[in-house]
Amino acid sequence: VAWAGSRHAVEVADRMARLVASDPVFRKDTRTMLSRKELFKDTLKKAAHAWKRIVELRLTEEEANLLRLYVDQPGYVDLHWGMFVPAIKGQGTEEQQKKWLPMAYKFQIIGCYAQTELGHGSNVQGLETTATFDPSTDEFVMHSPTLTSSKWWPGGLGKASTHAVVYARLITEGKDYGIHGFIVQLRSLDDHSPLPGVTLGDIGGKFGSGAYNSMDNGVLRFDHVRIPRDQMLMRLSQVTREGKYVHSDVPKQLLYGTMVYVRQTIVADASKALSRAVCIAVRYSAIRKQFGSQDGGPETQVLNYKTQQSRLFPLLASAYAYRFVGQWLKWLYTDVNQKLEAKDYSTLPEAHACTAGLKSVTTSATADAIEECRKLCGGHGYLNSSGLPELFAVYVPACTYEGDNVVLLLQVARFLMKTVSQVAAGKQPVGTIAYMGNIQHLMQCKSAVNTAEDWLNPAAIKEVFEARALRMAVNCAQNISKAPSQEEGFSELSPDLLEAAVAHVQLIIVTKFIEKLQEDIPGPGVKEQLQKLCSIYALHLLHKHLGDFLSTGCVTARQGALANELLGKLYAQVRPNAVALVDAFDYTDHYLGSVLGRYDGDVYPALY
Amino acid sequence: VAWAGSRHAVEVADRMARLVASDPVFRKDTRTMLSRKELFKDTLKKAAHAWKRIVELRLTEEEANLLRLYVDQPGYVDLHWGMFVPAIKGQGTEEQQKKWLPMAYKFQIIGCYAQTELGHGSNVQGLETTATFDPSTDEFVMHSPTLTSSKWWPGGLGKASTHAVVYARLITEGKDYGIHGFIVQLRSLDDHSPLPGVTLGDIGGKFGSGAYNSMDNGVLRFDHVRIPRDQMLMRLSQVTREGKYVHSDVPKQLLYGTMVYVRQTIVADASKALSRAVCIAVRYSAIRKQFGSQDGGPETQVLNYKTQQSRLFPLLASAYAYRFVGQWLKWLYTDVNQKLEAKDYSTLPEAHACTAGLKSVTTSATADAIEECRKLCGGHGYLNSSGLPELFAVYVPACTYEGDNVVLLLQVARFLMKTVSQVAAGKQPVGTIAYMGNIQHLMQCKSAVNTAEDWLNPAAIKEVFEARALRMAVNCAQNISKAPSQEEGFSELSPDLLEAAVAHVQLIIVTKFIEKLQEDIPGPGVKEQLQKLCSIYALHLLHKHLGDFLSTGCVTARQGALANELLGKLYAQVRPNAVALVDAFDYTDHYLGSVLGRYDGDVYPALY
């Protein structure tokens, strides 16, 4: 229940997972053996069948989303529901929503989200596709002026979509007004052939077998394609019949709500992907045996080895940590929306930095962790039947999409530098950055930890994580101020700024884990187990980044050694409950998709 | 020339690479799109064609090996030449070599190496397959008594091999004499069907598309299969006609020579794989542009970003570091063989620990680095056409085969603990462990570095890497001595021991890089560039493991900050030569197999 969030969530997730697992159409155990073409057909079949079941069983939106989650195969529907519909909802006028959404809801049109170009990813302002208004016909002319302006990557674009929200430079009255969204029909609703002037294609194979190869990531070029003026998404700004560019009275900050929402789902996905990998690795480590005791007795379960524990249990702890910070982000999303409605934009920069940082840190760590889990399964982890190669290949794009992780961390760093200077000017920061207000204490405090067990105290943990994050930020700010200009300093110090940003984000995750454990946690002994995981999460970070803690002077070498000593004890205490802690994820064998992670532990006959 | 080792090496590598690149049979640009069956057929075709060219052109062994390298597709021939033939050479009697090797050389038989079992990888002593001598017929009976005793993983076993060297427990006169090798025929030489009592199969799809799916990793079970007694590999021990088990007078240490040889090739492969990934990432980073200057000018080359440099240049430096330590290992192999012939076994433990450690550290770091290079190419790195997904998938098994990397590091750690106690007893260690003899100085020295440029001095680097490695080992030894027993202490402290082992191995790599630069390096300015890379290699490790250096007290926080400052300056100095430093690898576009890494830089038309 602590994992799922509520009894209701447990029940509905369980019901949808079993519905998918028991339906032969949703089988996926041969997926990695299919050719690209067979795989794409299989995706179409599953999407159609899922839609049929959703309609037949009159599933709620929550149930439908879960069903699609457990089908566990990337496909055009993800973009239709996850990007196309929300873009129209968020950026379309009421009129536009009334016109387009019913068609989308009934799948009369299939939509995708065409932003990224061959030569332009992170730098959205650099997109080259143009939408030039022609007042003589009341139309926009969509055009791809260069090779690098070709739309490249959008999922669902290659084969499935009939429509797209296309981002392009709006040009009217000879002036470039920057990037705006347009609803563009791409294919005929009669025979699905590309419309005149539209060139479409699939961009080819991607990492792994199975994985994202079920998705038709595509390429799109326009040769002077004309669309009616009212297909520009006009909630925030319009072009009039005469060609005048005007802003509406809707504040553009409203878009932030969507961004917080999308990033919250990405953090939730990180905990899902990580927990699947950890579940497989923990279960198989409890089955697999290697090396005997000295006296030639039976071999030892791999999970009993300290080296296995010290690599695996921090990942188990991370899965829970990301889960809880994801739950908190759900709350933040509600909070941000309420404030937006009240036209209070004061917390937006903080919410933006916080979600950007969490997206970056959790997805990077999860990608690495899935691969580490694969290695922790020994040679058999390399077989597709272990499920781990596909899980890795399908997960890693999360480090790049919706904001490259390094670019996002630099945004966090920029926010930190701004906050440092505001604090110096006497302003009191709020939210996840509030600790910086405590600058007098945090700049000179020294940890009072004296025994290994002192590190069990959440306050002791919080203090050193706060001091480390703040001191790293302040160090960067001081070094930047020595540079000829702010921009030059920021650029020169950007590798250090990345580290400061990571320190800040790790603090947020640790803090939210600690706060979660101040709530009631149902189930006997559950809270105690989670407290151990929380300590493991924080202390393994302290050990891994010991250089930060020592060089900023908030921890001594001896205190660092005590933390390490406690970690060893905590691993031993978690060991007896490790399998129960992954069973708590309540994943079906279908969803796990791994012979090594089978619930019944009957691994070797299944492999053979 | 510094990279290749000699002018001759440059010439022959270049000639073979071009021979392969210009031959349409060896095309590989559509490899990731083939179904498993097509891919396997493609492998057979390439192997046959390579053999034909080798015979036609009367290539030397060196040339033939390079040709197979540049074909760049795992297949059964790798095991035939790399494991089956060497096993017979190393463990067969002269008589056995005379009988089997000519057939193997002419490909009249195809061999593989069947050691790993479904339930037994690292723990070779735990293998369950039995070879029971039957004196009534003068035969061994090969048998798979359990499911977990099935041979599982051997390459070439699934489809191609006619013979295998099989490792099994030798049982004679009712006694189990442990694991020995046997030459066993598996398939008919007439119609390639499995012989009676032999069950064979392919173990299924593996990580990635293309990659190791070209290899027929297989499963093998015996049901009381009889082979003549003289097919036991009898160089080291024999079973007589009567069933007596006897040792020969050949010392078993001779086998160490083979082990050093195999690990040396793995380290050389690490530098090859890493340099390919780095070459792709550096070239594409010089082409790819993102974000403009503040004043709306053209976008900046990604390679100019400090964040990109701080992630990429340490990997470039690592490629050179592994290359040079690999060249040194070649020398070590000759040295070990000379000593073995002179029956001097004194340096074997050191050579074993050193090669085990280098195998572990270089392969783990290379696997991570390939994935990092992929991320450094942004979204396009996720496309198979970037070459990086397949390079990663085909490389990662190196972390597991020929000794799991964690198991190997624990062997290094055991050797370090032994050396610490020998040093305490006054013994003078030699070779890569000689520095431990300097214990008085290294336990209490403090780095004298006072300015960032002081870190350019190789002696300053070497001192702190030696002090860190020694102090970590001594700390572990002291903590082990507090445990109830040596074994318990070793097991409890194994996570710390892994870190101490890594510190020791990193010192070896740094030292060999420094020593290489004391030699003559041909080419104007080449040595200066390599010196910068050597500093980057060492200082990025110092920064990454700063916690080690600070907590052992050999470096102060200020000195750590100076090292970091110097790193930033070195990146700026390497930047103008970065592309030249990867062009020096002299890889053909065929071998790189990446549209992003094309020599001509014409990336976007190629992608499109």
pLDDT at B245: 97
Contact B33 A36 (CB under 8 A): yes
Q: Quick check: B299 contacting A, CB < 8 Å?
A: yes
For the cut 60, the answer to whether the pLDDT of residue A295 exceeds it is no
Report phi then psi at A405, rounded to 5: -60, -35
For the cut 70, the answer to whether the pLDDT of residue B34 exceeds it is yes
Nearest-CA distance A268 → chain B (Å)? 22
pLDDT in tens, B389-404: 999 999 999 999 888 9
pLDDT band at B346; cut points 50, 70, 90: confident
Give yes or no: residues A281 and A242 share one domain. no
Helix B557-574 and helix B526-544, axial crossing angle in degrees, nearest 10 = 140
Nearest-CA distance B30 → chain A (Å)? 10
Give me B343's structure tokens.
């029956």
Q: Quick check: B399 contacting A, CB < 8 Å?
A: yes
Chain B (12-41) residues lying within 8 Å, Cβ to Cβ, of chain A: 32-33, 35-36
Contact B492 A306 (CB under 8 A): yes
pLDDT at B197: 98
CATH of the domain at A133: 2.40.110.10
Which residue in B has a C-alpha nearest to residue A126's C-alpha? B291
Give yes or no: residues A280 and A352 share one domain. yes
C-alpha span between B140 and B134 (Å, rounded): 6
B476 lies in some domain: yes
Binding positions of B: 116, 155
Share of chain B above pLDDT 90, in %: 88
For the cut 80, the answer to whether the pLDDT of residue B293 exceeds it is no
For the cut 70, the answer to whether the pLDDT of residue B294 exceeds it is no
Domain range enclosing A549: 256-290+299-427+458-589
pLDDT at B524: 87
Of B73, B94, B120, the position where a domain reaches its end is B73
Give me B79's structure tokens.
């095991």
Contact B389 A393 (CB under 8 A): yes
- Taking CB atoms and an 8 Å cutoff, what residues of chain A touch B220? none
pLDDT at A292: 60
C-alpha span between B376 and B312 (Å, rounded): 8
A155 annotated to bind ligand: yes
CATH of the domain at B40: 1.10.540.10
Give yes or no: residues B346 and B229 share one domain. no
Greater confidence, A270 or B5?
Answer: A270
Work out the average pLDDT over A68-81.
95
For the cut 60, the answer to whether the pLDDT of residue A472 exceeds it is yes
Residue B156 backbone class (left: φ over 0; alpha: ψ -120 to 50; beta: rest): left
Query: Which of B292, B384, B397 is facing A204, going by the closest CB pair?
Result: B384
A94 lies in some domain: no
Q: What is the mean pLDDT of chain B?
A: 94
Contact A379 B406 (CB under 8 A): no
For the cut 70, the answer to whether the pLDDT of residue B121 exceeds it is yes
Q: Which residues, including other chains, have CB under 8 Å from residue A521's CB and lie 6 or more apart? A: A2, A527, A530
b/e per residue, B135-171, with b = 16+ CB within 10 A?
Answer: eeeebbbbbbeeebbbbbbbbbbbbbbbbbbbbbbbb
pLDDT at A169: 97
Work out the average pLDDT over B102-106.
95
User: Which ipTM did the prediction report?
Assistant: 0.94
CATH of the domain at A368: 1.20.140.10
C-alpha span between B455 and B448 (Å, rounded): 10
A152 closest CA partner among A132, A184, A128: A128
Contact A547 B560 (CB under 8 A): yes
Work out the average pLDDT over A104-133.
93
Count of other CB atoms within 10 angstroms of residue B472:
23
Nearest-CA distance B550 → chain A (Å)? 7
Helix B36-56 and helix B61-71, axial crossing angle in degrees, nearest 10 = 160
Catalytic residues of A: 402
Q: What is the mean pLDDT of chain A?
A: 94
C-alpha span between A449 and A455 (Å, rounded): 7
Give yes or no: residues A243 and A268 share one domain. no
Give yes or no: residues B260 and B246 share one domain. no
- Cβ A352 vs Cβ A259: under 8 Å: yes
pLDDT at B295: 53
Nearest-CA distance B249 → chain A (Å)? 28
Between the two ends of chain A, the Cα-to-Cα distance in Å is 36
b/e per residue, A110-140, with b = 16+ CB within 10 A?
Answer: bbbbbbbbbbbbbbeebbbbbbbbeeeeebb
For the cut 60, the answer to whether the pLDDT of residue A585 exceeds it is yes
pLDDT in tens, A506-544: 999 999 999 999 999 988 899 999 999 999 999 999 999
B28 lies in some domain: yes
- Cβ A246 vs Cβ A240: under 8 Å: yes
pLDDT in tens, B198-209: 999 999 999 999
- DSSP β-bridge partners for residue B298: none
A451 annotated to bind ligand: no
3-state SS of B293-312 is CCCCCCEEEHHHCHHHHHHH
Report phi then psi at A536, rounded to 5: -60, -45
pLDDT at B292: 60
B418 lies in some domain: yes
Selected for mutation to probe chain B from A151, A209, A295 (highest B CB count within 10 Å) is: A209
pLDDT in tens, B400-450: 988 899 999 999 999 999 999 999 999 999 999 999 999 999 999 999 999
Give yes or no: residues A266 and A241 share one domain. no
How many domains does the structure of chain A reveal? Answer: 3
pLDDT band at A297; cut points 50, 70, 90: low
Q: Quick check: A561 contacting B, CB < 8 Å?
A: yes
Question: Of A584-593, B26-35, B355-364, which range is least confident?
Answer: B26-35
Give yes or no: residues A390 and A485 share one domain. yes
A317 lies in some domain: yes
pLDDT band at B251; cut points 50, 70, 90: confident
pLDDT at B297: 63
Contact B307 A406 (CB under 8 A): yes
Give yes or no: residues A269 and A238 share one domain. no
Give yes or no: residues A175 and A61 share one domain. no
Chain A (201-240) residues lying within 8 Å, Cβ to Cβ, of chain B: 203-209, 212-213, 219
For the cut 80, the answer to whether the pLDDT of residue B254 exceeds it is no
pLDDT band at A560; cut points 50, 70, 90: very high
Give yes or no: residues B408 and B504 share one domain. yes
- Taking CB atoms and an 8 Å cutoff, what residues of chain A touch B550? 546-547, 550-551, 557
- DSSP β-bridge partners for residue A299: A292
